Structure 1
Amino acid sequence: MDEKQLTELNVDDQSVKRETPKIWKEVKEWVISIAAAFIIAILIQNYAVAQTQVEQDSMQNTLFEGQRLIEDKITYYFQNPKQGDVVIISGSEYEHRLVKRVIGLPGDVIDMKDGNVYVNDEQLEEPYAKGVTYPNGMTVPYTVPKDHYFVLGDNRQISLDSRALGPIHEDDIEGRVIFRIWPLSEFGSID
């Protein structure tokens, strides 16, 4: 092989060497981008917002089984749940995630008389409630302990809620329901 052929061969080898790293660099960039997007999606799902499905009838006439909801998981890092918030409850002691309405805050005194709910001796106006509310064996009046919330389902006759479960610890409140996305005919905010 003469010197000219050797030089041409070296030039060709160098161009092949230059092209190979460009391809691997692009593949590497795509893999990193896809992995980053996946990690961000997981973080958003676990810590920011999530989609959930109603799996019980305890929130009728506000929510019905099969409806899909958007849950805000961020707000309660900065503020405490408020009376009237519809929340998602989860924890190892619950068989399923529960959807309930916050009725009593820490320190509130809950009472039930004549089918109505009283918080700190004031009757709650509850246009969302279905049926009448009885203590169902719970001793009332009841004072909500520190770091706990008293929750009820809107469908009072069939709801498994704080009357049976006791107060819900703040760590078991996963987030608040902010939006209904399915069915489309019911699309909108939750009252």
Structure 2
Amino acid sequence: METEKRKSKGILKEIREWTISLGIAVIAALLFQNYVYAQSEVQNVSMQNTLIAGQRLIEDKWSYRFHEPQHGDIVIINGPESELRLIKRVVGIPGDVIDIQSGEVYLNGVKIDEQYVKGRTFAGSVPIPFTVEEGQLFVMGDNREHSMDSRALGPISRSSIEGKAVLRIWPLPKFGALKE
């Protein structure tokens, strides 16, 4: 009888320890995904040929806490500018002047080399040339003829940037870091 009580207490103690350990692991995983790295899926064609619908990415939510987005970064946008989460490329940062002439983008008066772009770039409803103000970014999709971006939505608030797409994990043949 005494032995059965010890066994019963031992089993309950082990169950409690496992429950606490699993609970801590689940909480740590959720915190990690919400604040450090997360998985995202490309939903549309606005970033072709760089990213294609159905591809899965790893999003870095952490590094923009220490530095600002840079030209060429591929960012995930989740804010009031659009009902959808968007994936776009940073073209302009605060202080930049964006101009579009003859299907080409000029940054501060200099034509930028955008080898990743598909199609020609046309101005949208935002008056061009456009000066990016503090706390804003000017973003565009790589598939310029089929992208809902800053040309139509206007500048994106820095606070709407959820993170930076850093790694393509699916499909496996395309696995690797995302480059500018």
1:142 paired residue number:
130
1:89 paired residue number:
77
* Aligned counterparts of 1:78 and 1:116: Cα–Cα separation in 2: 32
1:6 paired residue number:
none
* Aligned counterparts of 1:62 and 1:22: Cα–Cα separation in 2: 56
Deviation at 1:44, TM superposition (A): 1.0
Deviation at 1:16, TM superposition (A): 3.6
2:140 paired residue number:
152
SS of 2:59 mapped into structure 1: strand
2:106 is matched with which residue: 109, 115, 118? 118
* Aligned counterparts of 1:93 and 1:22: Cα–Cα separation in 2: 56
1:28 paired residue number:
16
1:105 paired residue number:
93
1:187 paired residue number:
175
* Residue type at the aligned position of 2:103: G
2:152 paired residue number:
164
SS of 2:145 mapped into structure 1: coil
2:119 is matched with which residue: 128, 131, 140? 131
* Aligned counterparts of 1:130 and 1:122: Cα–Cα separation in 2: 20
| TM-score between both structures, scaled by the size of structure 1 | 0.90
Please, which moves more after superposition, 19-28 or 107-116?
19-28
* Aligned counterparts of 1:94 and 1:112: Cα–Cα separation in 2: 23
| TM-score between both structures, scaled by the size of structure 2 | 0.95
Does structure 1 residue 43 correspond to structure 2 residue 24?
no
1:57 is matched with which residue: 28, 39, 45? 45
Moved over 6 A (4+): none
Can you list the C-alpha shifts for 1:76-120, whole angstroms capped at 9, x where unaligned?
A: 011100000001111244222100000000111111111111111
Percentage identity across aligned positions?
Answer: 52
Root mean square deviation, CA, Å: 1.2
User: Is the 2:76–2:162 Cα contact (8 Å) retained in structure 1?
Assistant: yes
SS of 1:103 mapped into structure 2: strand
Can you list the C-alpha shifts for 1:141-190, whole angstroms capped at 9, x where unaligned?
A: 11111111000000001100001111111111111111111111111111
Structure 2: gaps of 5 or more residues: none
* Residue type at the aligned position of 2:70: K
* Aligned counterparts of 2:124 and 2:84: Cα–Cα separation in 1: 21
Structure 1: gaps of 5 or more residues: 1-11
Instruction: State the structure with more CA Rg.
Output: 1
SS of 1:64 mapped into structure 2: coil
